[in-house]
């Protein structure tokens, strides 16, 4: 269902039989809402979010491509999140079975403008699927369509903002004992010690070569998010905490308490594609009552 969102921007609403839903803006190819069957919002979007191109949307799932963060010469997190994507009515077949599922296919291609800042031709296909249980799956396929024989290299992240009741009561499982790059310490490499990750100050880390399943436990709401990923070896964890939050104009002062970014990503070892080659990366989210969770 294609309709108008904030400021008249086009958005697509996906609905599932039990009442789960998701919303995707063509601007950014950006998921801005994911609701369970009770209508509860599972993603965080800032009340100060600006839905006005060329601003980035604070919350939901920004797509970081072709650059994660400020790791290269492009704008932070690349340009895909500030471009207008189009609906791809005739995508090449996907290996995953999307029957019985609500999904939308989007595409972003190089433009003459973007070639000036990133001199490559590419096709980025994004399928956003809402499964029968309300699972939200994002599958990206990026193809090098250069005609000059040149390879290109990129980093990538699904910059997912989870909505949590109280960050101080949240635990992340699946990253313990892993190596990470600490963005607050010049990207130095450390090893996570001890138990599950908890939050009591600013965190901005890239966990390296993580397991494919990460759990985010929201104790207050007795809910567990499960993040499963494929083709994306790393996982970014970010919360700005109070001081940094105050420096972010489109984030409310207390918003940090209700958000946690956990992002399937490929940061440490960039991906290189030769002309004609395609890369795939998938992130799948589910939200389940904690008591039903399999745990780690
Ligand atoms: O994913 C973590 C991070 O790269 C942080 O360093 C932080 O700056 C955040 O993303 C938000 O970036 P943005 O450009 O959306 O303000």
Q: Is the per-residue pLDDT at 292 higher than 60?
A: no
Atom of ligand 1 nearest to the CA of 183: 6
Mean pLDDT of 273-289: 97
Atom of ligand 1 nearest to the CA of 76: 14
Q: Is the per-residue pLDDT at 195 higher than 90?
A: no
Determine the distance separating the centroid of ligand 1 and the alpha carbon of 69, expressed in angstroms: 6
**Residue 215 is assigned to a structural domain of this protein:** yes
- Residue span of the structural domain in which 79 resides: 2-91+99-286
Pocket test for ligand 1, best of 78, 183, 239, 266 (most atoms within 8 A of CB): 183
φ and ψ of 169, to 5 deg: -110, 15
High-pLDDT (> 70) share of the chain, %: 96
Tell me what pLDDT residue 90 has. 85
Atom of ligand 1 nearest to the CA of 263: 1
φ and ψ of 223, to 5 deg: -130, 145
How far, CA to CA in Å, does 96 sit from each of 14, 31, 74, 134, 175?
A: 18, 20, 32, 17, 27
Is ligand 1 within 6 A of the CB of residue 256? no
Is ligand 1 within 6 A of the CB of residue 56? yes
- Residue 118, classed as helix, strand or coil, is coil
Determine the distance separating the centroid of ligand 1 and the alpha carbon of 52, expressed in angstroms: 19
**Residue 137 is assigned to a structural domain of this protein:** yes
Residue whose CA lies nearest to ligand 1 atom number 4: 69
Determine the distance separating the centroid of ligand 1 and the alpha carbon of 18, expressed in angstroms: 34
**Residue 232 is assigned to a structural domain of this protein:** yes
Check: complex ipTM more than 0.90: yes
Is ligand 1 within 6 A of the CB of residue 30? no
pTM: 0.96
72-76, 95-99, 190-194, 245-249: the lowest-pLDDT one? 95-99
**Residue 58 is assigned to a structural domain of this protein:** yes
Residue whose CA lies nearest to ligand 1 atom number 15: 58
φ and ψ of 256, to 5 deg: -60, -25
Determine the distance separating the centroid of ligand 1 and the alpha carbon of 149, expressed in angstroms: 33
Radius of gyration of the chain (CA): 18
Is ligand 1 within 6 A of the CB of residue 249? no
Active site residues: 159, 263
pLDDT in tens, 74-132: 999 999 999 999 999 988 877 666 667 899 999 999 999 999 999 999 999 999 999 98
Query: Based on the structure, what is the number of domains in the chain?
Result: 1
**Residue 281 is assigned to a structural domain of this protein:** yes
- In sequence order, what are the residues at sequence separation of 6 or more whose Cβ sits closer than 8 angstroms to the Cβ of residue 63? 28, 29, 30, 80, 81, 126, 140, 158, 159
pLDDT in tens, 14-32: 999 999 999 999 999 999 9
**Residue 248 is assigned to a structural domain of this protein:** yes
Contact 274, 143 (CB under 8 A): no
**Residue 295 is assigned to a structural domain of this protein:** no
Determine the distance separating the centroid of ligand 1 and the alpha carbon of 133, expressed in angstroms: 30
CATH of the domain at 228: 2.70.98.10
């Amino acid at each position: 269902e294609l309709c108008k969102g904030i400021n008249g921007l086009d958005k697509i609403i996906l609905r599932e039989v039990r009442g789960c839903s998701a919303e995707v803006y063509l601007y950014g190819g950006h998921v801005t809402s994911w609701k369970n069957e009770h209508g509860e919002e599972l993603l965080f979007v800032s009340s100060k979010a600006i839905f006005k191109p060329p601003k980035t949307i604070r919350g939901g799932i920004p797509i970081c491509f072709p650059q994660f963060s400020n790791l290269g010469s492009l704008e932070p997190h690349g340009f895909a999140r500030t471009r207008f994507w189009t609906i791809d009515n005739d995508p090449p077949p996907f290996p995953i079975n999307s029957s019985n599922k609500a999904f939308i296919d989007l595409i972003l291609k190089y433009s003459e403008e973007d070639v000036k800042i990133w001199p490559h031709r590419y096709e980025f296909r994004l399928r956003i699927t809402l499964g029968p249980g309300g699972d939200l799956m994002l599958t990206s396929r990026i193809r090098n369509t250069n005609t000059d024989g040149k390879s290109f290299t990129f980093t990538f992240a699904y910059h997912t903002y989870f909505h949590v009741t109280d960050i101080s009561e949240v635990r992340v499982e699946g990253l313990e004992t892993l190596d990470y790059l600490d963005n607050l310490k010049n990207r130095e490499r450390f090893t996570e010690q001890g138990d599950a990750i908890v939050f009591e100050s600013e965190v901005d880390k890239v966990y390296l070569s993580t397991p494919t399943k990460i759990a985010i436990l929201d104790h207050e709401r007795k809910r567990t998010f499960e993040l499963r990923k494929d083709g994306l070896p790393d996982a970014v964890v970010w919360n700005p905490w109070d001081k940094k939050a105050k420096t972010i104009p489109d984030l409310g002062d207390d918003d940090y308490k209700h958000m946690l970014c956990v992002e399937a990503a490929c940061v440490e070892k960039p991906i290189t594609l030769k002309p004609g080659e395609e890369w795939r990366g998938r992130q799948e989210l589910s939200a389940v009552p904690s008591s039903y969770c399999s745990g780690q």
